[in-house]
């Protein structure tokens, strides 16, 4: 494939990371080789000088939700705590290409969140104001301004849920998810991190209330610290050491169309009618919907969820009526009670948890990795994740982001 | 996915509302439970990979609640 400038493409290296055998012991073992796990490993090595680190992945690197999400990046969450961690992440995205020396195709094309009812409008305006108070770019668009920004949105008053306005975060956008994972993995590998694929954790070794190692399908591995980073499978791992998590695992489905000429210039999300869509760099429309309601680990959902999502998409974008769906799939998301992540310590000493990102973890990949690495290295939370502790469900200090996060991402 | 309603037989899951984990009991003496126990009641639910006793409501059918056991790894209805 030719790139701009008609130069021959650079010689691709044979491997971006080594495929080593497990060492008997590591300072830190990260369980889960998705985006968050790889980013955590990279920042552990880069920011904290911890290089005797392994990332354990049951399947292959970034083959779970990292390969299944719709790659939307934004930071327009309501509460101060969320604004802090998501905006930190967005700022890292803005420098990630240079930091990782890899064109991750981060495209700040703008994210629209449509409002279809008076409560939507009020919630949207409130969120715009909250975002601005937190120094996050946010605008309220009238229907006419929506039309100007994204001409193919159907603004007819005759549709079932007419568009009454939208929030816009211009710095939001999308990135190429695979490249993000590969870039982090390559850099972590360069710094000495071992990526151990096909390495499933089957148990933990404890001394009293302290974790000292993991048992895996590739043998026992001693560990100074163990960091859970397994999204939808977090409950399965935590239950092996008797730690309960307030997480429910649900399927979340997405789909792509065939490749199209450029038609959609931004990300459009609608929590009310349950669809969000963008056009990937290659040309396919990428769409997602809400979660399937039932608990599942099966990485598939029900067809009627796709049907509702496409019905919503067609009403908003009549121009898509002849587009074909090429592929649908599901991932397993870890939904928390307040639609906010759980990132911090556990009742087990030297065991850390990062989960509960639910439907929107991709955008947090750099920020979560950054603060999780800090938490692991210091044995105490970073200021940006202190509020996202597991014990907030006991103290009652929830961070309710259902408005900003639940269906929309 | 077909859900076996005890009164209507196998019906598509689109007809149902999901009720989550079965057998979540309200604390017997709510005045005396501590924060930990309240947290457990409000927020912590079993989330197994495998057999899961759960509640379903046949919203678009007989409008009755029932329990079943489903395997969350395969979607197979066990009972």
pLDDT at A14 (0 to 100): 78
Question: Residue A202 belongs to what H/E stretch?
Answer: strand A201-207
Question: What residue segments make up the domains of chain A, in order of their start?
Answer: 3-68+178-246+337-403, 108-173+248-335
The tokens for A320 are: 């898509």
Look up the ipTM and state it.
Answer: 0.97
pLDDT at A290 (0 to 100): 87
Q: How far apart are CA A103 and CA A93, in angstroms?
A: 11
Query: pLDDT tens digit string along A35-81?
Result: 999 999 999 999 999 999 999 999 999 999 999 999 999 999 999 99
CB contact under 8 A, A393 and B73: no
Q: How far apart are CA A373 and CA A47, in angstroms?
A: 8
CB contact under 8 A, B42 and A393: yes
pLDDT at A402 (0 to 100): 87
Interface probe with B: pick from A237, A250, A296, A392, most Cβ of B within 10 Å: A296
Q: How far apart are CA A326 and CA A255, in angstroms?
A: 8
- Nearest Cβ partner for A236 among B13, B49, B75: B49
Strand A210-216 to A219-228 pairing:
antiparallel
CA–CA min distance A230, chain B (Å): 14
Of all residues in chain A, what percent carry a pLDDT higher than 70? 96
Q: How far apart are CA A114 and CA A125, in angstroms?
A: 11
Interface probe with B: pick from A202, A232, A250, A297, most Cβ of B within 10 Å: A297
pLDDT at A2 (0 to 100): 45
DSSP A280-318: -TTSEEEEEEEEPSS---SS---HHHHHHHHHHHHHH-G
pLDDT at A403 (0 to 100): 80
Could you tell me the CATH number of the domain that includes residue B10? 3.30.2270.10
For A9, counting Cβ atoms within 10 Å of its Cβ (0-12 exposed, 13-18 middle, 19+ buried), the class is: exposed
Q: What is the spatial order of strands in the sheet that A284-291 belongs to?
A: A139-141, A165-169, A111-115, A267-270, A275-279, A284-291, A248-259, A325-335
CB contact under 8 A, B70 and A248: no
pLDDT at A3 over 70: no
DSSP A15-33: -SS--PPPPSEEEEEEE--
Check if the beta carbon of residue A251 is closer than 8 Å to that of residue A292: yes
- Nearest Cβ partner for A247 among B1, B20, B47: B47
Contact residues for A404 (Cβ-Cβ < 8 A; gap 6+): A76, A77, A78, A82, A127, A339
The tokens for A162 are: 């007419």
Q: Which of residues 69-128 of A touch B (CB under 8 A)?
A: none
Domain A3-68+178-246+337-403 has CATH 3.50.50.60: yes
Q: Domain for residue B17, yes or no?
A: yes
The band of A339, judged by pLDDT with boundaries at 50, 70 and 90, is very high
Residue A185: name the closest of A73, A65, A32, A69 by CA. A32
pLDDT at A408 (0 to 100): 44
Kindly state the greatest CA–CA separation across chain B: 43
pLDDT at A409 (0 to 100): 41
The band of A10, judged by pLDDT with boundaries at 50, 70 and 90, is low
Q: How far apart are CA A358 and CA A255, in angstroms?
A: 18
CA–CA min distance B18, chain A (Å): 6
HEC letters along chain B: CEEEECCCEEEEHHHCEEEEECCCCCCCCHHHCCHHHHHHHHHCCCCCCCEEEEEEECCCCCCCEEEEEEECCCCCECC
User: Is A245 part of the contact surface with chain B (CB cutoff 8 Å)?
Assistant: yes
pLDDT at A272 (0 to 100): 84
Q: A-B interface: how many C-beta pairs under 8 angstroms?
A: 62
Interface probe with A: pick from B2, B18, B43, B47, most Cβ of A within 10 Å: B47
Q: How far apart are CA A24 and CA A294, in angstroms?
A: 40
Regions of chain B where pLDDT drops below 50: none
pLDDT at A328 (0 to 100): 96
Q: Domain for residue B30, yes or no?
A: no
Task: Specify the pTM.
Answer: 0.95
**Chain B residues touching A300 at Cβ < 8 A:** 75
pLDDT at A33 (0 to 100): 98
Query: pLDDT tens digit string along A139-170?
Result: 999 999 999 999 999 999 999 999 999 999 99
Q: Is A210 helix (H, G, I), strand (E, B) or coil?
A: strand
CA–CA min distance B7, chain A (Å): 21
**Across chain A, what does the average pLDDT equal?**
95
Owning domain of residue B39: 2-24+35-45+52-78
Q: Domain for residue B29, yes or no?
A: no
Q: How far apart are CA A274 and CA A10, in angstroms?
A: 42
CA–CA min distance A231, chain B (Å): 13
CB contact under 8 A, B72 and A235: no
Residue B57: name the closest of B9, B5, B2, B11 by CA. B5
pLDDT at A262 over 70: yes
Q: How many domains does chain B have?
A: 1
For A321, counting Cβ atoms within 10 Å of its Cβ (0-12 exposed, 13-18 middle, 19+ buried), the class is: exposed
Check if the beta carbon of residue A270 is closer than 8 Å to that of residue A312: yes
CB contact under 8 A, B48 and A233: no
For A115, counting Cβ atoms within 10 Å of its Cβ (0-12 exposed, 13-18 middle, 19+ buried), the class is: buried
User: What value does the mean pLDDT take over residues A243-260?
Assistant: 97
Q: Report the CATH superfamily, name and number, of domain A108-173+248-335.
A: D-Amino Acid Oxidase, subunit A, domain 2 (3.30.9.10)
CB contact under 8 A, B47 and A302: no
């Amino acid at each position: 494939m030719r790139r701009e400038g008609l130069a021959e493409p650079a010689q691709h290296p044979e491997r971006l990371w080594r495929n080593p055998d497990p060492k008997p012991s590591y300072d830190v073992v990260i369980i889960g080789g998705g985006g968050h796990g790889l980013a955590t490993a990279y920042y552990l090595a880069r920011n904290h000088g911890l290089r005797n680190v392994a990332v354990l992945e049951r399947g292959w690197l970034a083959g779970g939700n990292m390969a299944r999400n719709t790659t939307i990046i934004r930071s327009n969450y309501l509460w101060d705590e969320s604004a802090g961690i998501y905006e930190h992440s967005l700022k890292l995205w803005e420098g990630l290409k240079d930091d990782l020396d890899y064109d991750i195709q981060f495209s700040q094309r703008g994210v629209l969140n449509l409002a279809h009812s008076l409560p939507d409008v009020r919630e949207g305006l409130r969120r715009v104001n909250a975002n601005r108070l937190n120094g996050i770019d946010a605008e309220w668009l009238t229907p006419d301004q929506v039309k100007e920004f994204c001409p193919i949105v159907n603004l007819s008053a005759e549709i079932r849920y007419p568009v009454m306005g939208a929030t816009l975060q211009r710095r939001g956008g999308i990135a190429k998810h695979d490249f993000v994972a590969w870039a982090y993995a390559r850099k972590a590998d360069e710094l000495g991190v071992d990526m151990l694929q096909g390495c499933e954790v089957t148990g933990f070794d404890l001394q009293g209330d302290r974790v000292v190692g993991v048992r895996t399908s590739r043998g026992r591995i001693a560990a100074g610290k163990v960091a859970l980073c397994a999204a939808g499978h977090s409950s399965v791992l935590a239950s092996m050491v008797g730690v309960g998590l307030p997480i429910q695992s649900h399927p979340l489905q997405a789909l792509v169309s065939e490749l199209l000429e450029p038609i959609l210039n931004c990300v459009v999300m609608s929590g009310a009618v349950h669809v969000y869509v963008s056009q990937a760099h290659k040309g396919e429309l990428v769409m997602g919907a809400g979660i399937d309601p039932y608990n599942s680990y099966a990485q598939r959902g029900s067809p009627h969820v796709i049907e509702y999502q496409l019905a919503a998409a067609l009403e908003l974008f009549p121009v898509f009526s002849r587009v074909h769906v090429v592929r649908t799939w599901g991932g397993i998301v870890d939904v928390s009670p307040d639609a906010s992540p759980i990132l911090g310590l556990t009742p087990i000493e030297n065991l850390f948890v990062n989960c509960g990102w639910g439907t929107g973890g991709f955008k947090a990949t750099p920020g979560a990795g950054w603060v999780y690495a800090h938490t692991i290295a210091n044995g105490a939370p970073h200021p940006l994740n202190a509020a996202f502790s597991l014990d907030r469900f006991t103290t009652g200090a929830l961070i309710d982001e259902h408005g900003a996060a639940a269906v929309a991402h | 996915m077909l859900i076996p309603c005890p009164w209507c037989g196998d019906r598509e899951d689109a007809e149902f509302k999901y009720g989550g984990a079965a057998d979540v009991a309200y604390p017997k003496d709510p005045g005396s439970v501590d924060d930990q126990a309240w947290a457990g009641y409000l927020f912590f639910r079993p989330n197994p990979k495998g057999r899961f006793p759960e509640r379903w409501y046949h919203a678009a059918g007989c409008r009755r609640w029932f329990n079943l056991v489903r395997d969350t790894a395969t979607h197979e209805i066990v009972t």
